[in-house]
Amino acid sequence: MSDATDIGRFAERANRYARRLVGRVAAVAVVLAGVMWLLIGGLIWSERQAAIGHGLVNGRNLAAAFAVELTHTLDRIDGAMDAIIRRMPIGPDGTPRLDDLKQWGDDFALLAHPAKYLGLVGADGKLIFSNNTGTKTGPNGSSPVDLSDREHFRIHRDNRNAGLYISVPLPGRVAEGKMLYFSKRIEAADGTFCGVLIFVVPPIELVRMRERIDLGTRGALAVVGIDDIVRVRASADHPDGSVGLGASVRGAPWPENVPPGGFGSYTRPGALTPIDRLFNYRRLDRYPLIVNVGLDLDDLLGEARAHAWMLGTVGVGMTGLVCGLAVTLVREIRRRIAREVQLAAERGRLEQARRRIEEDQAKLSIANAELVAAVDRAEAANQAKSRFLANMSHELRTPLHAIIGFSELIQDRVPRTKSDSTIAEFAGDILASGRHLLELINAILDISKVESGTERLDESPVRILDEVRASVVAIGGRARERRLTVDLDVPDTLPPLLADATKMRQILINLMSNAVKFTEPGGRVTVAARIEADGRMLISVRDTGIGMKADEIALALQPFGQVDSSLSRRHEGTGLGLPLAQRLAELHGGSLTVDSAPGQGTTVSIWMPQERVG
């Protein structure tokens, strides 16, 4: 195999073998995937058909149950109306008398539930009596209500054999809202037309069984006349039946000419609400009404669709697995063959690589040793700096405390006479300079601890409102001297923050001190805090001061950075307040941002992470 010709022949035979094997593996993978997807498709289709079949059976049963209930209700109303008409006295002038009508109305209205009102209309179409008004006249003592134009009056006047008539939902002239008007003809013994008896029924009362049967989250129930006009409609989104009354559902796939007792089903978006539903309808045997029950297809097919998604996901995963295994197998064969062909050439390159690795390892060892030495030197320098700062702090603080104490003593003890006023002024200058120097030393020590990584947090739940108020007290004197207004916009309901209370107060005092320092007399400083939509807590200090440019903001965030570094600058300071606040915020896992423009003030925002809130 060392000869170049032999290597070429071997490579050619290996490649031919690899191509044949790839073809076989691909064919097997395609066959397996095809069979698997045929099985998955069959399962999905059969489960969907089973869900629809179950919905058809359930809907058919519900439609039948509602039809039985509605038939009983209508029979009760029809019987009550017949009883009243049979026992109703007719006057000599052919007009039903009111002698016992009110009593009959009170008695039979209970038997005719769910009728709400009973009315009697004379042969001239004028309302004689209604237990809604209790008089012959209209509401508020007006002239009698004329119902001669109503269909439920005219049909009995013109047709002796109309029987029980059920009107479309109509706005009442005596009753309020849309109602269904059940009417029957009243006639004398000789068949003369004497008037019409009317029962007024709220539409929703006809399907009270709807309250005891679950039609699903978006199911609907409607009672439709054979004239295709909706008499009653109730759904989950409108259970009071106030929507769709009187609407027409005519048109495919709504059936035409359904015979008494006939039933069927269809699927379509609702005519009144665009929801895909499976409808099952059944016409009543003795009344011209059709009960239509609509079940939400999403409810019916929800489990089947979930199973389909699950099977599809499994199918995709299995297909990917088969393809992945096939690809992996082919790649492994090709890799092995190629590796055998290249093995001889690789030996030389491997030897060269080994030598280069040994050389690189030697260089890395030297570099690593130098890096370790540099790290040791940096650590030693850092420790030396920390010891120096600690010693310097201790050495400087002791005499400074003495200077501050003696200057306070001198300032308090020197008699307030004209001759001693200069001494008192000098003592005040010494006191102010000593305090300023002490603040500078403390700030340098704090920022050094943070940057060296030796600073630690003493964490506890902190109420930001308490810290803000304490900080306002700390800078209150300077704010009053400059006649500044300090506003707080911190809700009392703000959740606590897991933080170091001392360092949070230090952050707030530094930011408020800067705001007071750089705001002209008569200006305003606002401290606010709130919870953002992402759960972080935002604490901001906004002033109406002189503001900064973008490059000045970057400078102000550097330790000892002074935006105005001239000897005659108007605003004194060490340039450590803002950088120290930023380092302390980052020590809590938060961040600090500055938004400012010359002449428009400055807003400094502290963002605390969500896990520290609450």
Residues of the chain within CATH 3.30.565.10 domain(s) are 456-565+573-612
Query: Smallest Cα–Cα separation from 254: which of 232, 235, 272?
Result: 272
Tell me the pLDDT tens digit for each residue of 534-554: 999 999 999 999 988 888 888
Residue 487 near residue 527, CB atoms below 8 Å: yes
Residue 574 near residue 513, CB atoms below 8 Å: no
Per-residue pLDDT at 362: 85
Fold of 1-300: Beta-Lactamase (3.30.450)
For the residues 498-516, what does the mean pLDDT come to?
Answer: 89
Task: Domain 456-565+573-612: give its CATH superfamily.
Answer: Histidine kinase-like ATPase, C-terminal domain (3.30.565.10)
CA 609 to chain centre: 22
pLDDT(402) > 80: no
Per-residue pLDDT at 568: 33
- Please give the helix or strand (H or E) that residue 47 lies within, else none: helix 4-86
For the residues 414-438, what does the mean pLDDT come to?
Answer: 60
The span from the CA of 151 to the CA of 424, in Å, is 108
**Residue 233 class from Cβ within 10 Å (0-12 exposed, 13-18 middle, 19+ buried)?**
buried
Residue 292 backbone phi and psi in degrees, to 5: -125, 115
Within 8 A by CB and 6+ apart from 270, the residues are 220, 277, 294
Residue 471 near residue 437, CB atoms below 8 Å: no
* Identity of residue 254: W
Comparing 48 with 343, the larger pLDDT belongs to 48
Helix (H/G/I), strand (E/B), else coil: 462: strand
Tell me the percentage of the chain whose pLDDT exceeds 70: 74
Q: Which two tokens stand for residue 568?
A: 């005659």
Using DSSP bridges, classify how beta strands 524-531 and 485-489 pair: parallel, antiparallel or unpaired. Answer: parallel
When the pLDDT of each residue in the chain is averaged and rounded to a whole number, the result is: 79
Tell me the pLDDT tens digit for each residue of 329-376: 878 777 777 777 676 556 656 777 788 888 888 888 888 888 888 777
Per-residue pLDDT at 553: 85
Residues of the chain within CATH 3.30.450.20 domain(s) are 1-300
